[in-house]
């Protein structure tokens, strides 16, 4: 895949595959393209070259008679309902309660009944430890609680793929553990494919099958967490790891 912002190319000839159920952590210095990759998969950015495939099917563009053709928006939207994303800044709807935030997409996008969506939302809130906050407004919650709601909201769509972009970076240190605990639980109890960007290296080591080190929009090296963290092959990886560890 390829991505340019105006004249600036940030991803070029980038090619990688994530297996179903695989959990991959993207690491690398600021500006190396990690967020851009997740936003491209979420179709929040337009891919300027190449293709992205989900379950073997093209997501936004496909090759037809040797040409690169954009897919109908409807088709792309159908595919992205199977992808969830959680951001550094929780991005909850501030004018809705916690419960309303979670049921919004299941009701309006998946067409679930309000009763069914509510029942599932309550189970999810239980799961993220916020069963008592269903009727609260997000502004009344701590950052860690808001982030757990954002995770529950993503899970309410039963995603096959979950994209997590530095979801604990905006949190006070004492709130990070609860959020990571929820993510560990998801990793252990579901087969959701996860692409995550995090500076929590112990967490990355524990939950990921593979770590990819990016530099300048390219994969500098990749491998199982033990290999990347204990025995990095590139000096850039070593210096990056020593700066975050
Ligand atoms: N909307 C945009 N317009 C122009 N350039 C952009 C835009 N978004 C990202 N970029 C550029 O693309 C490159 C990759 O940015 P990206 O946000 O993906 O990096 P990152 O690895 O997530 O960095 P960080 O660790 O700081 O979050 C950077 O050079 C950035 O300046
Ligand atoms: Mg980023």
Using CB atoms within 10 A of its CB, is residue 101 exposed (0-12), middle (13-18) or buried (19+)?
buried
CA of 16 to the centre of ligand 1 (A): 19
Among 77, 27, 87, 26, smallest CA distance to 54 is for 77
State residue 88's pLDDT score.
95
Nearest CA to ligand 1 atom 18: 33
Q: Tell me, using a 6 A CB cutoff, whether residue 3 lines ligand 1.
A: no
Pocket test for ligand 1, best of 33, 37, 197 (most atoms within 8 A of CB): 33
CA atoms within 13 A of residue 203's CA, in its CB half-sphere: 24
Give 139-151 as a 3 state SS string.
HHCCHHHHHHHHH
How far is the C-alpha of 126 from the C-alpha of 144, rounded, in Å?
15
Beta bridge partners of 222: 212
Residue ranges for the chain with pLDDT beneath 50? none
Using CB atoms within 10 A of its CB, is residue 78 exposed (0-12), middle (13-18) or buried (19+)?
exposed
Q: What is the pTM of this model?
A: 0.96
Q: Tell me, using a 6 A CB cutoff, whether residue 35 lines ligand 1.
A: yes
How far is the C-alpha of 232 from the C-alpha of 241, rounded, in Å?
9
- Three-state SS for 62? strand
State residue 245's pLDDT score.
79
**Residue 103: count of CB within 10 angstroms of its CB:** 25
Contact 153, 105 (CB under 8 A): yes
For the chain, state the CA radius of gyration: 18
Domain segments of the chain: what residues?
3-82+161-244, 92-158
Among all bound ligands, the one having the nearest atom to the CA of 165 is 2
Residues making up the chain, counted from first to last: 245
Q: Tell me, using a 6 A CB cutoff, whether residue 27 lines ligand 1.
A: no
Contact 225, 25 (CB under 8 A): yes
Nearest CA to ligand 1 atom 9: 36
Give the CATH number of domain 3-82+161-244; options: 3.40.50.300, 3.40.190.10, 3.30.870.10, 2.60.40.10: 3.40.50.300
């Amino acid at each position: 895949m390829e991505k340019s912002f105006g004249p600036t190319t940030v991803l070029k000839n980038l090619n990688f595959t994530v297996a179903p159920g695989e959990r991959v952590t993207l690491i690398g210095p600021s500006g190396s393209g990690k967020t851009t990759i997740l936003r491209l998969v979420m179709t929040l950015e337009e891919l300027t070259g190449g293709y992205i495939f989900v379950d073997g099917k093209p997501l936004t563009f496909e090759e037809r008679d040797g040409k690169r053709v954009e897919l109908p928006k409807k088709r792309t939207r159908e595919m992205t309902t199977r992808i969830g994303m959680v951001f550094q800044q929780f991005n909850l709807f501030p004018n809705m309660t916690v419960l309303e935030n979670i049921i919004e997409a299941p009701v309006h996008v998946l067409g679930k009944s309000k009763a069914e969506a509510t029942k599932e939302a309550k189970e999810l809130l239980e799961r993220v430890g916020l069963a008592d906050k269903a009727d609260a407004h997000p502004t009344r919650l701590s950052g860690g609680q808001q982030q757990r709601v954002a995770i529950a909201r993503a899970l309410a769509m039963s995603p096959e793929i979950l994209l997590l972009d530095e979801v604990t970076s905006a949190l006070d240190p004492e709130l990070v553990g609860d959020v990571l605990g929820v993510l560990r639980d998801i990793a252990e109890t579901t087969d959701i494919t996860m692409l995550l960007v995090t500076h929590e290296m112990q967490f990355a080591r524990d939950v990921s099958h593979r770590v990819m080190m990016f530099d300048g929009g390219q994969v500098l090296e990749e491998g199982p967490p033990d290999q990347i963290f204990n025995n990095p092959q590139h000096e850039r990886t070593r210096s990056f790891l020593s700066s975050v560890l």
